[in-house]
Amino acid sequence: MTVIINGDTGISGVNGSAANPAIKGSDADTGIHFGADTAAITTGGTDKVSIDSTGDTTFSGTVKTSKVENANTSNGGLEIDTAGHVQVDGIQLPTTGTLNNRNILINGSMQVAQRSTAAESNAVAFGSNTAYDTVDRWGFWASNPDRFTSQQVVDAPPGHYNSLQITSSLAHTFTAGHGFTVTQRIEQQNLYGTGIGTAAAQSYTFSFWVKSSLTGTFSFYALNGALNKSFVSNYTINVADTWEFKTISVPAPTDALFAATANARQMEVGFSLGAGSQFQTANLGAWVTENFKVDSTTSSKFLETNGATIQFTGVQLEVGDRATPFEYETVSQLLAKCQRYYQRYVYAGGGIIGTGLCWTTANAIFSFDFRNEMRAAPTITLPPAGNAAGQIAYLGSNGNFPTAIGTHTAGAISTINFALTGSGYAGLAGAGFASWLYQGGTSGTTIQASAEL
């Protein structure tokens, strides 16, 4: 063997082969051998790694590594943690499930607000129900009225545009049964793929952006539809008036208490704004049998501070134990999903709303088609009948108007018929004669259909 030191330093000798490497230890068929502009590492007489003159490297077995980086860039790379989860260029890939429709929640970007974008007060105590005032699908549960306002605002972290802002209206004093939350209720059909309520249930990851005038520890909670199985975990706001990203791991809900009918509420998730001892727990990070919403020891009560603000956006709930980038949807997709639960029709100025029939001198009927099929037969909110501004009027040659409007068809989720009573329909009475319904005045007529959970 010759050692060359004439400018190219190396070890010179025979090329060797896979069975008899040129450089080897005590194992005769394990070592390094050489070919025409190639070098190979061989074990047990078989090439495992070979490198050619271009730098291309061929592996014959499984490559095991925790990280691969591009030497020519500062951010290119692939990283694999000890559980096998993969990040590409720092972006977490889903740990289970599909790439699309990952976000179980609807309108987590807070873009759709059919009811109102202005500040709305919780003017009533909601009890066991949830009131929806501003941003679609995000409701409010409150034990006491007039404690806060909510509104959609144009203020968000990079990558988002809107957020839901809650502002405390006074310094509330909490007693045992008091509680206030921002919540979204989830239909069972949107959870089928997660195995919820069975031994095959999957864990979830909840992620969101939050900004508040307060700092401290706050609580996130999840509940089953019957409100007797709950999960509470905390998150910390470190810097006031600054957007911060948070993630919370939610263990698999395997309990049969999560049973529900297909179009009913199976789970809800939300943020606590403060709660009394009746809703407090010290058992964090696990599902427990009770209706808990807040940590009993360290969680801040947001509504104890008059004028405090807190904002949420980019809210996502997905299966798996890692948070992936927020799943953006077009506003038309978001609106269609929201309209399964609530639809608002605003007619500005005079215009035809629908057509129908008169079948007696005092009765008429007209049909109204929803933009999207609703979750269940909705509760309809109508303007009054008559001929004043904002009222629904009857357009007929005799100029008379209905005195009352009532829902006629029960159980409809795509179309509903409205029965009218009044007088003076004789001029068009009889099967097959058309009547037209239009809005009187110019201030606008609003029809609402709600099938919220």
User: pLDDT tens digits, the chain, 453 residues: what are they?
Assistant: 444 444 444 566 778 888 888 888 888 889 898 888 899 899 988 989 999 988 898 888 888 877 888 777 666 777 777 777 777 766 776 767 666 788 999 999 999 999 999 999 987 777 667 889 999 999 999 999 999 999 999 999 999 999 999 999 999 999 999 999 999 999 999 999 899 999 999 999 999 999 999 999 999 999 999 999 999 999 999 999 999 999 999 999 999 999 999 999 999 999 999 999 999 999 999 999 999 999 998 888 999 999 999 999 999 999 988 888 999 999 999 999 999 999 998 877 666 777 677 766 677 777 778 999 999 999 888 877 777 777 776 665 455 667 777 766 667 899 888 777 766 554 444 444 455 566 555 556 788 999 999
The pLDDT assigned to 128 comes to: 64
Residue 126 tokens, joined: 């909601």
Q: Which of 320, 73, 273, 297 is nearest to 178 (CA)?
A: 273
| C-beta of residue 258 within 8 angstroms of C-beta of residue 224 | yes
- Measured in degrees and rounded to the nearest 5, phi and psi for residue 334 equal -65, -45
The pLDDT assigned to 392 comes to: 73
The pLDDT assigned to 399 comes to: 54
3-state class (DSSP) for residue 194: helix
The pLDDT assigned to 200 comes to: 94
CA distances from 10 to 1, 53, 55 (A): 11, 16, 18
The pLDDT assigned to 361 comes to: 67
* Whole-angstrom distance, CA of residue 415 vs CA of residue 166: 35
The pLDDT assigned to 429 comes to: 44
pTM: 0.84
β-sheet bridge partners, residue 233: 220
Residue 442 tokens, joined: 């110019």
The pLDDT assigned to 36 comes to: 87
| Domains, the chain, with CATH or none | 2-59 (no CATH), 66-94 (no CATH), 120-338 (2.60.120.260), 342-450 (no CATH)
Say which DSSP state 304 is in.
G
The pLDDT assigned to 122 comes to: 85
The pLDDT assigned to 108 comes to: 98
* Whole-angstrom distance, CA of residue 290 vs CA of residue 267: 14
Q: How many CA atoms lie within 13 A of 193 on its CB side?
A: 12
Give the pairing of strands 31-35 and 57-59: unpaired
